Amino acid sequence: MAQIQPVVPATRPAIRNAAMMIRRGNLVGFPTETVYGLGGDATNDAAIASIFEIKKRPSFNPLIVHVSDLQMARSLGVFEDEAEKLALEFWPGALTLVIPRAARSNTSLLVSAGLGTIALRVPNHQVAQDLISESGRPIAAPSANLSGTLSPTSAQHVYDSLGSAVSLILDGGPCQIGIESTVVLSEKSGTSVLRPGGVSQHAIEAVVGYALSDNLEKSGKPRSPGQLERHYAPSHSMRLEVCDPQEGEVLLAFGAKFPTVCKTVRNLSIQGDLKEAAANLFAMLRDLDQIDSEGISVMPIPEVDLGVAINDRLRRAAARPNEQQS
Ligand code: TXA
Ligand code: MG
C-alpha cells in the first residue's frame, strides 16, 4: 500500500487539523523561524514521551516549550526582572529563556527532565503562532530530526529524517534563520549562554548591560547541550536494578511482577510499556522522594528503545552530587 505523504501546505484548515491532533496527544512537524520543530502538547506526559521515542534520543534532554506571548509564558515560568527585560526585547524571536518553573505550571515534568526550570520561547513565525493559539496549549518542540543529525530547515528535511513516524508535517517553506535559538539560563545571579544560536551574545549583552559569563569552553567550542543542564537528583539515596528491596525503602517498580515488601510502591508501567514508563518517570520519582524512607529502590528497566533514556536518567539521578556531570 502506498504511504500517505504527511507533508501538507500550512493552510488555515491544515493548521486547524494539526491543532486538533496536538490536543489529542499526537505530534506534528511545524515550521518556526529558526528550524522545524516536532511539536506535542507540553501538558501531556504521553505526548512528550513519544517525542523522545520518535527522535530516538538516548537521554531525556529537557525540551523548549513554545508559547504565544509573554503573558502565556508567565503562567509557566517565574520571570525575574532580567528575564522579563530579555523577553520584552527579543520575543517573538530566536531566544529561549531557561527560568524557574512556576509552581502552578501544569506542564509535564518530562518536558523539564525533572528539573525545577523550564525553557520558554515565543516563535516569530505565523504558522507556529497559529498552531499554539488554535490548540490552546503550550507546545513542546525539539528540532524535528533524529537525535544526532542536522536540524531540519524545510518540511522535506523533516520527512527525510523522521519519515512517516510523524503523521502530519506542516509545510511553511524554508526557515528564515536556519539555526536554532540561543538558549540562555536566567538566574538571580545573572544570565549565561547555554547554547549559541539565532540571537547573538553581543545583542544579549547590550540588554543586560554586562559581559556574559558564557558556558563555552576555552576552545570556543560549545559543550554538548546535554551536558549543560543540571540533572534531576532526589534527596533520598537510590539503588538501581533492585529485585529484592528492603522493607524500609520505597519501590519504583516496572511490570506486573514486583516485590511486595515495601509499603509504598509506584509502578512505572504495570504493562511493562516503556513509553508509559517514560511518561511517569519524573513525577513518580518526585512523589517517592517526598516520602520519609530509607531510600528509593528501582527495579531493572530493559535497556532497549526508551529504556535506554530511562536508565540514563536513573543513573544520573542515583549518582551522588559530586559524581554528577555539570
Ligand atoms: O530553535 C530552536 O530552539 C528549536 C525550535 C524548534 O524552537 N528547538 C530546539 O530544541 O532546538 P532542542 O530540543 O533541539 O534543543 C533544546 C535545547 C537543548 O540544548 C536543551 O538542553 C536546552 O535547550 N534546554 C531545554 N530546557 C532546558 C532546561 N530546563 N535547562 C537547561 N537547558 C535546557
Ligand atoms: Mg536539536
**Does 130 sit in the ligand 1 pocket, CB within 6 Å?**
no
What spacing in Å lies between the alpha carbon of 61 and ligand 2's midpoint?
10
Flag whether the pTM goes above 0.75.
Answer: yes
Q: How many CB atoms lie within 10 A of CB 179?
A: 14
Q: Per DSSP, which regions of 101-234 are E strands?
A: 117-121, 139-140, 169-171, 182-187, 190-195
- Which of 64, 139, 185, 316 has most ligand 1 atoms within 8 Å of its beta carbon, as the pocket-test mutant? 64
Give the β-pairing of 250-253 and 265-267.
parallel
Number of the ligand 1 atom closest to the C-alpha atom of 38: 6
Task: Please give the pLDDT value at position 217.
Answer: 38
Instruction: Give CA angle at 312 (326, 161), nearest 5°.
Output: 100
pLDDT at 300: 98
Pocket flag, ligand 1, residue 175 (CB < 6 Å): no
pLDDT at 3: 59
Which residues lie closer than 8 Å to 253 by C-beta, 6 or more apart? 259, 265, 266, 267, 268, 299
User: Cα(22)–Cα(290) distance, rounded to whole angstroms?
Assistant: 32
What is 219-270 written as a DSSP string?
TSPBPPHHHHS-----SS-EE-S-SS--TTSEEEE-SS-----SS-EEES-T
CA of 245 to the centre of ligand 1 (A): 37
Indicate which residue's Cα is closest to atom 24 of ligand 1.
Answer: 62
Q: Tens-of-pLDDT digits for all 326 residues of the chain? A: 555 689 999 999 999 999 999 999 999 999 999 999 999 999 999 999 999 999 998 788 899 999 999 999 999 999 999 999 999 999 999 999 999 999 999 999 999 998 999 999 999 999 999 999 999 999 999 999 998 888 899 999 999 999 989 999 999 999 998 889 999 999 988 899 888 888 988 899 999 998 886 544 333 444 444 445 567 788 999 999 999 999 999 999 999 999 999 999 999 999 999 999 988 898 899 899 999 999 999 999 999 988 988 898 899 888 865 444 43
Is the CB of 77 inside a 6 Å radius of any atom of ligand 1? no
Residue 232: its pLDDT value, please? Answer: 77
Number of H helices, E strands in the chain: 10, 14
Q: How far is the CA of 278 from the centre of ligand 1 (A)?
A: 19
